[in-house]
Structures are given as structure tokens and as C-alpha cells.
Amino acid sequence: MKALVYNGPGEKSWTEVPKPVILHPTDAIVRVETTTICGTDLHILKGDVPAVQPGRILGHEGVGTVVEVGSAVGTLSTGDRVLISCIKSCGHCANCKTGLYSHCLGDEGASGIGWVFGHLIDGTQAEFVRVPYADNSLYKLPSEVDDSQAVMLSDILPTGFEIGVRYGGVKPGDVVAVVGAGPVGLAAMMTAGLYGAGEVVAIDIDEGRLEKAKEFGATSVVLSSAEDWRERVLSMTDGAGVDVAIEAVGVPETFTMAVGLVRPGGSVANVGVHGRPVDLHLEDLWIRNISISMGLVNTDTTPLLLRLVAQKKLRAERFATHHFDFEHIMDAYETFSNAAQTGALKVLIER
Amino acid sequence: MKALVYNGPGEKSWTEVPKPVILHPTDAIVRVETTTICGTDLHILKGDVPAVQPGRILGHEGVGTVVEVGSAVGTLSTGDRVLISCIKSCGHCANCKTGLYSHCLGDEGASGIGWVFGHLIDGTQAEFVRVPYADNSLYKLPSEVDDSQAVMLSDILPTGFEIGVRYGGVKPGDVVAVVGAGPVGLAAMMTAGLYGAGEVVAIDIDEGRLEKAKEFGATSVVLSSAEDWRERVLSMTDGAGVDVAIEAVGVPETFTMAVGLVRPGGSVANVGVHGRPVDLHLEDLWIRNISISMGLVNTDTTPLLLRLVAQKKLRAERFATHHFDFEHIMDAYETFSNAAQTGALKVLIER
Amino acid sequence: MKALVYNGPGEKSWTEVPKPVILHPTDAIVRVETTTICGTDLHILKGDVPAVQPGRILGHEGVGTVVEVGSAVGTLSTGDRVLISCIKSCGHCANCKTGLYSHCLGDEGASGIGWVFGHLIDGTQAEFVRVPYADNSLYKLPSEVDDSQAVMLSDILPTGFEIGVRYGGVKPGDVVAVVGAGPVGLAAMMTAGLYGAGEVVAIDIDEGRLEKAKEFGATSVVLSSAEDWRERVLSMTDGAGVDVAIEAVGVPETFTMAVGLVRPGGSVANVGVHGRPVDLHLEDLWIRNISISMGLVNTDTTPLLLRLVAQKKLRAERFATHHFDFEHIMDAYETFSNAAQTGALKVLIER
Amino acid sequence: MKALVYNGPGEKSWTEVPKPVILHPTDAIVRVETTTICGTDLHILKGDVPAVQPGRILGHEGVGTVVEVGSAVGTLSTGDRVLISCIKSCGHCANCKTGLYSHCLGDEGASGIGWVFGHLIDGTQAEFVRVPYADNSLYKLPSEVDDSQAVMLSDILPTGFEIGVRYGGVKPGDVVAVVGAGPVGLAAMMTAGLYGAGEVVAIDIDEGRLEKAKEFGATSVVLSSAEDWRERVLSMTDGAGVDVAIEAVGVPETFTMAVGLVRPGGSVANVGVHGRPVDLHLEDLWIRNISISMGLVNTDTTPLLLRLVAQKKLRAERFATHHFDFEHIMDAYETFSNAAQTGALKVLIER
């Protein structure tokens, strides 16, 4: 079969590799029909994630059809059309039992991290993929949900919802600021209404993204490169600050913006993947009764989000801006890498 | 009457000042019978809190007797023996209605901070004190609770419990590390059991304080100046880290220690008052699903803690290490300022 | 002034009575501009609420203008346009401090019940009304909210939201059944979306009300007089039952319906005012892991709901089906008492 | 092997039966070393649980050693000493994913009930038992925990803690009443302190049990056959009622007692297994803001309770009042059935 293989920093190829096989009775093999590229894949390609070894097949998002199941797989059969979650979870370790699937201790070549695809084991940017703990990591898809919707549930929609909206503790009527209107920030905006957010303020330096933000649930937009964003946002809240500030970029400046926007008693939910430390101004913050959360998605909300997509309450298909077939996956990477020019949110790679 | 007056950085005096009078119908005047000194008072005296103006009477902790009430005070009468909470709360602003008393917006010469005594209005290190919003700020004392117990409920016990134990989300069976075994750290240790903490690990650089810690609920102690504290604590938790780490010192090093001790999915509760920023290593932390909380005490748990003291479930009197009369308050400051030598936890100043 | 006075079972009159005066420094006098009638008023008129003595002015809902304030009222001034909450709360008793305003222990002629207007003290169906604890019981109205919207916030919207939606623990994606499509049931339907309800199933015996239900947020309707309601609802949930069942009628049959609809692990929120006991089938239920809640509204969500009305996120005005002036209040009662014929939801009585 | 077989109402025998074998790759076979009898077994023997067919081996509690594992069992090996939980959970159905293990939908001969041992499949009162979903249903035992402690974790300790203390929402300082001082009531008393209960009031008609209750954490006892229990309990709470009332008997009278004891805003946690309906006085209760919970244990707290037993924070061994060997299991039934005379709490049957 063919797959997108990481060959070390800056190097990747769409190349012939062996087809995966069942290694454990809880595994399944899935024929991938749709996959996509995540910002994390670009980080890996830069060499920023040393745990990823050359030879690794990338990708942790996908939709496909089960072609083989291990002897202990109880809920899936050959022929089932499934969503592949970006997180593997054994379902019975101490962390899984408390819903902390992101830190599943199950022993699939990883220790203490639920994100393994395209990282510690081969991933989904391939014609076939081996899925560990298939009963917990795959979700049967109803016919109302098409591939371009479903693939948004592998990672970005649960990430924006769980790590942004839920960790942030969004409540009915809250004013929520989202710093960064990329795919994950937009996912947070799209799902903030599920807890009744009263106002969703999108903040970005790109006018095109802010236009997009309005389609994804933002009720106001702030172009932080052109206006005094803090003044603007505080003025919307009688000077107090927002209830929840969601960081969805991953650099120190945007984290500091988020912290600076939140009211006493509010919360900051960091969703961004960071590469550098940030100054936390505890000399001002200690007295403000705020909390700061962060983390990797657990995907415990995937069944819920899937139902909402089926009910057309979440328009997941809006993230899909570009389509490629598997043979043009290198073009898909090119388009996604130049999102500022191409306007790409999620690029789909389809059979 | 006499009072302890701040005269600018480094300067204080026990001196004659006018007796306070009722300014608002919701005020009460309390004759102070016991007061004490907080680490914050030492900060003020150093000039670290510019909002405190020369001429201000210090102190935000106390027990006394009501001698006069305003026309709108409904629940208190002259002669009532009362606990004075360190936080004033109007009871009807937007923040008070959600229990965020620490950021009461009521307009007693303050804006957006519930801590006003010895800060924005005159405090409790005086023979008499005016208490705003008396119905919400004073608590009638049952006869079973003596002054040396009650005065610990003005600030340190609710602070350790609310900002440490509750903000930290301590649950039954949790392993809780408390960095810093000063009065507020000890208050966190003493109250961690109220949510069923399984292990309480005290960490400090002072052996004497660690000895004390064992009397306040610590089940293990770690002398961080002499041993590899991180190794020690991780070894108690199969390498995973503690469920809750409580910072009770207020310097960057101890905050970083607390963050470094917590397991994936755990929480860090900052109780310390900080004067400098701290490096937050988001490049490591973003993936760890932790939360970090901080804040000023709300004192919403004061009635509960008072009941537990009356039931002898909390031995509040253990904090009182030294006793002085009002005329020797300068000696009390001396003793408290040199806690490392004197072994002072809380020094009581009594009529 | 004139007022609607209860003269004993079956007897009421719109009659001249003395204008109210300030009795406590925390009181305000409000000139009533809009009031309305609640199902509870009809119960009182039948003699079902013996605590209500002849001579009592009825009514617990209203909008008006402050004409006088007591000396301890801090947040309101003469001329302020205000919403009158159906619940009085002192703000400092043990129950108020935990947000249980419905059982405020403050001593305004009542003991242990926050609902006093038109019950234990004179109410709002009058030209003027005395409001105890004005700082906590009145809410200043922004100009965007008109009287016909605001008066729905005195009781029905917070009741449906707090006792139905919040006590029921509605979560994103939940299937919520509301038994009874009267004003309070409709209020629950209208606000279920604030916690992301996926489906809202309205159940009633009146087709007209079910038509209304669709305008208030119901996504399906079940005519329980004509179809096998249980079969219908179970079939919407793969046989499991709904996540939350809200009872909004107040008779044993509808309570039993609600209990019979809920899935294992789900919850039943009783909003109805009941006059008789009900058989609870614990022999079937003990194993089903359900919870059953009930209660009087606390109105702690009034500020939130007011903001959502101002933002046009809640269309409160839809409840107002009929309008009368004060001199025609007896006609208003007639119309409201015959809701099945008149189609009345809420009848407004306006200056 | 030998086992205790149900032969229809009133009939049981300790008799030779075939040894169980692995049926599914997720199964394990456990050699039972300690088992015990539950009140539910007595109900079954009376014929009250028609789902139990003649020929069924009874028992759902036990400790033993793994002698064989299916090919998909990942966390256990032959020779592991294990606790057998009374609840089987597949770990990946919709209910398991939300922690509602008691209603696991996995298909082991059952539908929608996690309690299968000695009910829908053969149980633990046997020399060997087949355990479905072994990874989720068995817990490796540390050497510090002996069999007589561990077997209390199969059912009664998690039941009292989860369905009594946690469903009841016990908080620090709460006054908790437990109606019924049998094994499960005592388990609730023993674990109420894990959430900081301030007072634990045991209510029973048997003086001997009340004496026991004091050893299990009760701070007061009320002999309901001899004194005005309601008056007594209300007088402990200034007339308001208790914060949490736990029903641990299972008859209408005790349920009604529990409901009658709870304060406005409090909760009733039903733990008892009921055989008859009960009158719920909604005409009084609708206004009291109480909640009523009930259910089958989920055992999600088993790991926590096991740790607390290992730490000697819970003295689980205190439940074991009588010991028998397997050949005398009929005597064990006799002793347990006559608990009023024998004083039996839990009778242990050991190899």
C-alpha cells in the first residue's frame, strides 16, 4: 500500500510500504477513505517532535471501513464505516477509568499518552491503518454523516470543544473570547453555543479568518493587528473582562493576551500547542481568582459531537475548504502549509 | 483609642487615633478583643502594596464585641461576640451573587476587591474598628469557640481551605503536596482531610516547620533543602505525580516546584502572594491536562469552618504560638517578623 | 390606590386600599406598571393555600418604577425602572449565602420561604407595592427590554430554567422531554437550548399548546391523548429513554409519565405545583440510577436571563398573549382562567 | 467443582457442578478463595427476583486467584490475586463511557444491567467462577489487603459510598442521617467522612446495631422504635433538617422517614432494595428544593476504596463477624439469615 512517510526533518514522501497487520486481539485494520492534515503534522515535519522517528507514517485523523478485526473486538465487524479517533484508549487503565483517555496508560508502544497515531505508531495518511483498542477508538458512522463531516471529529471538533469550551467552563450567557481563528479556534467558536455562550469574540491578526469566524459562531470580531484589542474587549464587558478566554494559537504573546482578557473569577483555556515558555504574571494574577487549564483532547465527547453533526446542529463540513485525492497528498500539504495565501482550513485527502 | 498605624515604608506606630464612627446604615462598630498579624502586613510595611497610604490602621483579622450597629443591620446587636472576616461583601453585587465575595463590587472606598481592612480602609489592629456590610462580614461566635480559635477563621483557615483545598479540587484518596509549611500551608494541610485526602505531603526547607506539619495533618514530610524532593514525591505516586499541588509560599521557585509535582489530569492551587512573574513551561505543560488556580479568599466557607471548630474537628488553636497584649503589639510584630528564629506561626494580640 | 384583593375562597375585588409605606430601611416602594397572573394565584383563589389570609393583595410578578427607597438601599434610586422578582432574599442568611434564595430565612413576616408577595405580604397586582430587601429583589432594566418581556423574568422564565433545565442537569446533546406545554413548560423548552439540548420533546393533551411548543423550542411534539406517548418517546431514543424529563403540570399522572420516560442514569425535574401525593414505584426504580428534583425558583439566574432577553437570545415577549389595563384586571383573570378556550399563555395587566 | 446452586424458591444446595470455562477472549477464570452472602441472595432465594432461573450459582462477591485468562485479557495473568467486582462492565458501550457501569450494555447474556453474577450468569459462591470483561471487573490486590477486607469491596463498601454518600452529595460539615444500620448503612457511615461529614446520625430499631454504628462512624444514634426520631434529629439541626438522608433498608416506611428528615435544599439518597411502591408527598415536597437519588452501584470508586483500605483509612475488616469454610456454606446462610439473633454483619466463606 502507499502512505505518507516522514523521513526526518523537512523530508516526507508518498511511498510504498507494507500493509499493516493485526498485532493484538483488540486491534482492527481500517481501509482509510478520507484523511486530513493537522498543524501538528507540520510541526513534526519541522523536526519539533523528536519522539517521531524517520520511517513513521504520519496522520491521526481519518474515516474508513473496517477490513479486519482481532479476536477480542466486540463491537465492530468487517464492512463497518468508522470514524478513527486521534486518541487510543484501552478503557481499563487508571486514567481511562476516570475519562482521562488522553493519558491512557495502555501499552501500545507508548507510555502515558493517548495520542499515538503518526507519532508513536503508524498513522492514518495511508491506504490502511492498524487501530489499537478498536472498540474504544473507532466509532460507527450513521449514514447521515458524510466523510467530510466525520473527519472533523477525529481531532479538531473535540479538541476545540473539550479543551476550549469545557475546560474553560463556558456557561449560559458567558462572554467568551477566542484568540486565534484557525481550525481549532473555529471549532471552539462553533461549539461554545452548546453551553449557551452569550457572546463569542474572535480575535485574530488576519481579516480573512475573522470573516470566516462569523460563519462559525463569532458574534464580534477584533482585528488585533489594527486595533486596541484589550480596550475593545473590555468595553464589551463593562471593563470587567470576559468570562472565558480560549487560547488557540500556541505562542507566548497570544497566551498573555488571553490571560489579560479574563475577568476576576473567570478562566483561561489553553488549546494551543506551545514550543516556548511564557511569563506568567503571578504578581498581578494571584489575587484575581482565575484558573488556567490546558491539555490534550480526551475524545470522550466524540459520540455526542457525532450525534450533533448527524442532527445538523453542528455544520462540520464548513471546515473542509480543499479536496485532493491520495495521489495528490503532497499538493494537499502544500496548500495547507500556505494557509494564509490559500485560505485553507482543513484540506481533505480522499480515495 | 489606640491603633497600629502605617506611616510609610518601614514605619509604624502604636498611637492615639480617633475612634471610628458609623458611616453607612449597614456598618457596625466592633470593640476588638483579639487580633493578629498576617504576612501581608509585613509586605505592606515594606512598601510593597502602594494602595496602602500612610496613616492607615493595619490588620484584617480579629475577634471582638459589637458596640454599635447602623440602622440597616438586621442580624446583629450590641453585645454580640463576633468574628471579623478579612473580606467585606455587600451581598448583592454581581460578584457577591455568584459567591465571588473576594471581588465584591460594593463601593466602600474600594473598587472590585473584597479585602479592604488595613488596605483601603482602617483595619483591626486597633481598639475599635468600623465594619462595613456588617450583616455579611461578621459572624456571631458560639460560646464553645474561644478567641484564639476564632481569629484563625478571619483569614488563614478559609484561605488554606478555599484557595488551596477547594480550588485544587481535592477528592477522597488524593495525594496532596503542600509546598510551604507556614501558617497558610498548614491551614491547607489541616483542612485537606475534609475532602478525604489520602496522603498529605508537606514540603519545606525548615525542619522545625516540617515537625509542625505532622501535627497539622501531613502524612509525610520532605525537606527540600536536603533531599531530591521531586524524586521523593514521585516515588510516592508510582512516578505519576500528585493529584493536587498547593503552593503556599509565593516565590517563583516554589510555584515551579508545585507545577513539576502534579500528575496528568491533576491541579495546582496557588495560595501564595507573589511579587514577581514566573516562567510557565507551556512547551511541556500544554499536553498534561492540568489546571492552575489562584485567588483571594472568598470566606464563603467561614460558617462551615466555624462549625467544625466548635465541633473540635479542626484544632484552630494550634496556630497560636505567642500571645501579647495590645500595649506590646510592637513586640508581637518583632516576634512574627522573625518566625524562623522564634518559631512563630500566629502571634495573638489580646486585650 | 387600587389593588386586587383576595377576600377568601372564590372572592376577589379590584378595590381601594392604603398605599404601602417603607417599613424597613432595606425596603423600596415601586409604582407597578405591568403585572400578570400566575396559575398559583388561581390556586390561592380556590382556597388551596391557607397561608394566604383574606385581605391580602395578590400577585408576585411585575415591572415598575422605584418611587421611594429606605435608608439602607444602596443600589437603587427613585426613578429606576425595575423588574420585581417573585422571591425576596435577604442576602445574608445561611440559605441565601448558599444561593438557596427560595428558602431565605430573613424575617419579613415569613419564615423559611422566599416567596412572600401575594402570599405572606401584599403583592404586585396593585398600583404600588412595597418590596423588602430591595437591593436583592429588584433588577434595574436596560432600555432594550420592554415591560412585556421583563415581566416574564419575575417568575416563569427562571422557574422553567432553574427548576426544569438546571435541576434536571441538561447537557449538550441531551434528549429532554417536557410533560406539559403551559407557560412554565414552554419556559423550560425555551431555555433548554442554553445547555445545548439536542432534542426537546413536548408532550401535552392539547394540540393548540403543542403548536405553540414548536415556536418555543420543541423539536418534536407528542399528543398524549391520541398516541402511545411512551412508545413514541422511547422510539426516539433507541428504547433507552430520555436524558431529562421535566414535569410541568402538577398532577400524579404527569409525574408518573415523566418518571416512566427517563433512561437509566437520567433525571426527572419536577416543576409542577402538586396538591396530592403520588405513587413512586421504587420496586422498579431503585436499580435505575435516576434522580428526581423539585423546588421553588431561586431566581439566581435572573441577571443572566435578563441579559439574554436584552440580546434577543430569548424571545420572552412570546408568552404575552393578551393585554388589559388595570381597570380590566377582572377580565384578565377571566381570560387566564379559561386558557383552554382563550389560548392564553400570560395575560398582561398594564397601566 | 462444588457450588451453591439455586433450585427454585426456598431451595438451594451445595453441590457438584461443571467447572466454568473461558467463553470469550475477554474472560478470566478465578479460583474463589473467599466469598460472602448478600441480602440480595436471600431475596433471590425467596423467589423475589424472577430473572434468576433454577440451576443458577448464586453470589456476586469474592476474592480469589486467576487461573486462566482469555486471549484478549491485557492486564491480568495467571496467579494474580484479585478482587471480583459485583458489576461487569465492557468499558466501551455508551453507558460505560460515561461511568454508568451499573447499566453496561455489553452483551454477556444480559441487557442493560451490570450486575450479572448470581443473577444472569453463574456467581461466586463456588470453587471457580468465570468473570466476563476481566480487565474491567477484576482488581489486583496488594499484599497489605487481606481477603476479609477485600471482599467488602465487591459490593457493600462501594454501594454505601457511591449510592449513599456520593449520590447524596455529602459535603464537608454536613449532617448526614443514615436510616438503617445494616451492612450497607454501616458502609455509608464508614465512608461519609471521606467528604467531611460533620455529623453522622444512625437511626435503627435495633440497639445492637446502633452500638455497632458507633464503631463505624456514627456520631449520634437514634433508636427509632423507642423515641421520637424526627424530633430528635430536627433538634440536632436547629429544626431545619439534615443535609443528606440515606435510606439503607428498602421498605416504604424508612424511605418516608428519610424524606421527612431532610432540610430544604438537601438530598435523599436511596440505597435500599425495594419491593413495593411508596407514597411520595409531592404536595408538601414540591416547594422544598430537595433531590432524591437511587441506583445500583457502578464500582467506579473501587480502586479508590481499595487504596484507602490498604492505607488503613477504612477498616473494612470490621464487617466480617463470622467465618465458615466452603463445606459449611449452608450454616453461613443460616447465620446470615438470622442476623437479628446472631449479630451477623457479613459472614465469610473461605477455603
- Statement: residue B243 has pLDDT above 90: yes
Contact A117, A124 (CB under 8 A): yes
Which cell numbers in the block locate residue C100? Answer: 438557596
Report the residue from B25, B75, B136 with minimal CB separation from C72. Answer: B25
Residue C76 to chain D, least CA–CA distance (Å):
30
D282-292 mean pLDDT: 96
Mutate to test the interface with D, among C256, C268, C286 (most CBs of D within 10 A): C286
Tell me which residue of B45, B43, B86 sits closest to B62, measured CA to CA: B86
Determine which of C120, C243, C282, C297 to mutate to test the interface with D (most D C-beta atoms within 10 Å): C282
**pLDDT attached to residue A100:** 94
CA dihedral in degrees (B268, B269, B275, B277; nearest 10)? Answer: 30
In this complex, the residue of A194, A198, A199 whose CB is nearest that of residue C196 is: A194
Nearest to C264 by CA among C282, C280, C288, C287: C288
| Residue B113 pLDDT greater than 90, yes or no | no
- What is the nearest CA distance from D171 to chain B, expressed in angstroms? 8
C189: pLDDT confidence band, cut at 50, 70 and 90?
very high
The arithmetic mean of pLDDT across residues C271-291, rounded, is: 96
A-D contacts at Cβ under 8 angstroms: 50
Distance from CA of D136 to the nearest CA of A (A): 6
Q: Residues 6 or more apart from B269 whose CB is under 8 A from it?
A: B163, B164, B165, B167, B168, B244, B245, B246, B247, B293, B294
Neighbours of A, requiring at least 3 CB pairs below 8 Å, are B, C, D
* Residue D40: per-residue pLDDT: 92
Q: How far does A16 lie from chain B, in Å, by closest CA?
A: 33
Mean pLDDT (chain D, rounded)? 95
Over residues B255-278, the mean pLDDT reads 97
pLDDT value at residue A160: 98
Interface check D198 vs B, CB under 8 A: yes
Mean predicted confidence (pLDDT) in D240-250: 97
User: Are the beta carbons of A98 and B172 closer than 8 angstroms?
Assistant: no
A311 → chain C, closest CA residue: C198
Judged by CB atoms closer than 8 Å, whether chains meet at A307 and C198 is answered as: yes
C91 and B92 in contact by Cβ < 8 A?
yes
Question: Cβ separation of D195 and B172 shorter than 8 Å?
Answer: yes
Q: Which residue has the higher pLDDT, C292 or A105?
A: C292
- Do D72 and A70 count as a contact with CB atoms less than 8 A apart? yes
Report which DSSP code applies to D253: H
- pLDDT tops 60 at residue B216: yes
Query: Residue A178: is its pLDDT beyond 90?
Result: yes
Residue C94 is predicted with a pLDDT of 86
Q: Would you state the pLDDT for residue B261? A: 98
User: Crossing angle, helix C183-192 and helix C207-215, to 10 degrees?
Assistant: 30
- Percent of chain D clearing pLDDT 90 (strictly above): 90
Which pLDDT score is estimated for B207? 94
Residue D110: what pLDDT? Answer: 52
**Given the DSSP bridges, would you call strands C2-6 and D28-36 parallel, antiparallel or unpaired?**
unpaired
Contact criterion met (CB below 8 Å) for A76 and A28:
yes
Q: Is the per-residue pLDDT at A114 higher than 60?
A: yes
Which residue in A70, A91, A107 is closest to D92 by CB distance? A91
- Confidence band for B169, pLDDT divided at 50, 70 and 90: very high
* A158: nearest Cα among A84, A245, A249: A84
- Measure in Å the smallest separation between the Cα of D99 and chain A Cα atoms: 8
CB contact under 8 A, B72 and C75: no
| Interface check C188 vs A, CB under 8 A | no
Mean pLDDT of the region A8-34: 96
Model confidence over C237-274: pLDDT tens digits? 989 999 999 999 999 999 999 999 999 999 999 999 99
Residue B208, all three cell numbers: 522545625
Q: From chain B, pick out residues whose CB is under 8 angstroms from the CB of D313.
A: 198
Tell me the whole-structure pTM to 2 decimals. 0.95
Name all chains with 3 or more CB-CB pairs below 8 Å to chain C.
A, B, D
Residue-wise pLDDT for D312-322, tens only, equals 999 999 999 99
**Chain C residues with CB inside 8 Å of A172's CB?**
194-195, 304, 308
pLDDT-above-70 percentage for chain B:
98
- Which region among A43-52, A290-299, C172-181 has the lowest average model confidence (pLDDT)? A43-52
Tell me the sheet residues that pair with C12: C6
**Predicted local confidence at residue D109, as pLDDT:** 52
What is the distance between the alpha carbons of residues B143 and B153, in angstroms, rounded to a whole number?
15
Asked if B193 and D196 come within 8 Å (Cβ–Cβ), the reply is yes
Read off the pLDDT of residues D66-116 as tens digits, 9 standing for 90 and up. 999 998 888 899 999 999 999 999 888 889 888 999 999 886 555 567 899
CA distance D199 to chain A (A): 30
Q: Please answer yes or no on whether B300 and C97 come within 8 Å at the CB atom.
A: yes
pLDDT in tens, A270-279: 999 999 999 9
pLDDT band at C293 (very low <50, low <70, confident <90, very high): very high
Chain B neighbours (≥3 Cβ pairs under 8 A) are A, C, D
Those of residues 36-75 in A touching chain B at CB distance below 8 A are none
Which pLDDT band, with edges at 50, 70 and 90, does B110 fall under? low
Angstrom CA distances, B86 to A287, B123, C215, C235, D238, stand at 14, 9, 50, 57, 28
Cβ–Cβ below 8 Å for C308 and A198: yes
From the number of C-beta atoms within 10 Å of its C-beta (0-12, 13-18, 19+), residue C251 rates as middle
Residue of C nearest to B107 (CA): C74
Rounded to whole angstroms, the Cα distance separating D341 from B328 reads 67
Averaged pLDDT of chain B = 95
Q: What is the pLDDT of residue A72?
A: 86
Cβ of residue A310 closer than 8 Å to a chain C Cβ: no
pLDDT at residue number D91:
85
Per-residue pLDDT of B26-44, as tens digits, reads 999 999 999 999 999 999 9
Q: What is the mean pLDDT of chain A?
A: 95
| A172/C308 Cβ within 8 A | yes
Q: What is the pLDDT of residues B63-85, one digit of tens each?
A: 999 999 998 898 899 999 999 99
Cβ distance of B277 and A272 shorter than 8 Å: no
Interface probe for C, chosen from B92, B93, B105 (most Cβ of C below 10 Å), is B92
Q: Coil, helix or strand for B230?
A: helix
A94 contacts in D (CB within 8 Å)? 303
The alpha carbon of residue C70 is apart from the nearest alpha carbon of chain B, in Å, by: 9
Question: Within an 8 Å CB–CB cutoff, is residue C238 touching chain D?
Answer: no
* pLDDT higher than threshold 90 for residue A293: yes
Whether A304 has its CB under 8 Å from any CB of chain C: the answer is yes
Write down the pLDDT at residue A50: 87
C190 at interface of A, judged by CB pairs closer than 8 A: no
Contact assignment for C196 to A198 by CB distance below 8 Å: no
Q: Are B39 and B45 in contact (CB under 8 A)?
A: no
D143: which residues sit within 8 A by CB, 6+ positions away?
A: none
Whether residue D319 contacts residue B185, with contact meaning beta carbons closer than 8 Å, is answered with no
* Measured distance CA(A245)–CA(A203) in Å, rounded: 10
CB nearest to C289's CB, from D283, D286, D295: D295
Q: Is D241 on the interface with C (CB under 8 A)?
A: no
Do the Cβ atoms of C262 and C245 come closer than 8 Å? yes
C-alpha cell at B97: 451573587
Angle at which helix A207-215 crosses helix A183-192, to 10 degrees, equals 30
**pLDDT (tens digit, 9 = 90+) per residue, D21-33?**
999 999 999 999 9
**Residue B108 pLDDT exceeds 60:** no
For range C187-211, the mean pLDDT: 96
The C-alpha atoms of residue A232 and residue A221 are separated, in whole angstroms, by 10
* Subunit contact A71:D135, Cβ cutoff 8 A: no
How many Cβ atoms sit within 10 Å of the Cβ of residue A312? Answer: 12
Amino acid in position C265: G
Residue C123: pLDDT over 70:
yes
The C-alpha atoms of residue B262 and residue A171 are separated, in whole angstroms, by 27
Give the pLDDT band of residue A108 (cuts 50, 70, 90): low
CB contact under 8 A, B275 and A265: no
Asked if D193 has any chain B CB less than 8 Å from its own CB, the reply is yes
**What CA–CA distance (Å, rounded) separates B80 from B30?**
9
Q: Under a CB-based contact definition with an 8 Å cutoff, are residues A263 and A135 in contact?
A: no
Average pLDDT over residues B103-126: 84
- The C-alpha cell at A225 is 493587528
CB contact under 8 A, D75 and A94: no
A contacts of D92 (beta carbons < 8 Å): 74-75, 91, 135-136
Between chains, do D283 and C276 touch, taking CB under 8 Å as contact? yes
pLDDT at B111: 58
What does the block give as the cell for C194?
442554553
pLDDT of residue D94: 86
Number of H helices and E strands in chain C, helices first, is 13, 16
**Average pLDDT of the residues in A248-266:** 97
Counting every residue, how long is chain B?
351
Mean pLDDT, rounded, for C171-176: 96
Q: Is the pLDDT of residue C153 over 70?
A: yes
**Mutation test of the interface with chain A: which of C237, C242, C313, C314, choosing the one with the most A Cβ atoms within 10 A?**
C313
Give chain D positions within 8 Å (CB) of B199.
311
Residue with cell 459462591: D125
pLDDT 10s digits, C80-118: 999 999 999 988 888 988 899 999 988 655 556 789 999
Task: Please list, residue by residue across A221-251, b when 16 or more beta carbons sit within 10 angstroms of its beta carbon and e when fewer do.
Answer: bbbbeeeebeebbbebbeebbbbbbbbbbbb
Distance CA(D241)–CA(D262), nearest Å, equals 5
CA dihedral C87, C92, C94, C100 (to 10 degrees): 30
